[in-house]
Amino acid sequence: MTACHAIRPLLPARVDELTLPEVRTRAEHVAACTRCAAEAAAYTRLGQALSAMAGFEVDPADGTLERILVAIGRRSVVTGPRVLAAAGASGALVATVVVARAVRHRRQVRHRQILRSIRRPRVGRFRLPGRFHLPNLPAPTPALARAK
């Protein structure tokens, strides 16, 4: 019998999406394993519900848009071509800025990760050509504090 972790990717698939050996293997495992049988049955019910809903098409009731606009504080629908063009252009500009900042941030994070992964060669307890770490040394005291 095949293990559950090997069968799990096959459970959501429909029979016409699988090869004949996959169908047989899944059927044999589902017949013997109650947990995978329950999961397969849930996927089957979900597929049937989605296929039943595929034909549904509902139009909103008359005046729905106007009621929503009034509820959010707008009085009229703006449909002028210049206003719509300006709104679309400003939306595109905002989206471009957001994406550019996300890409820049990702590059900075990757750059920091690369810099952290580069290690300088060490000799004993000290790193060579960069910062020197001097462990267990007392902090320097100001000259006036020592004079008292």
Question: Which residues of the chain are modeled with pLDDT < 50?
Answer: none
pLDDT at position 140: 60
pLDDT at position 142: 60
> What letter would DSSP give residue 59?
P
Domain extent listing, the chain: 4-52, 77-117
pLDDT at position 88: 79
Contact by Cβ (8 Å): 49, 80 = no
In sequence order, the 6+-apart residues with CB closer than 8 A to the CB of 66 are: 77
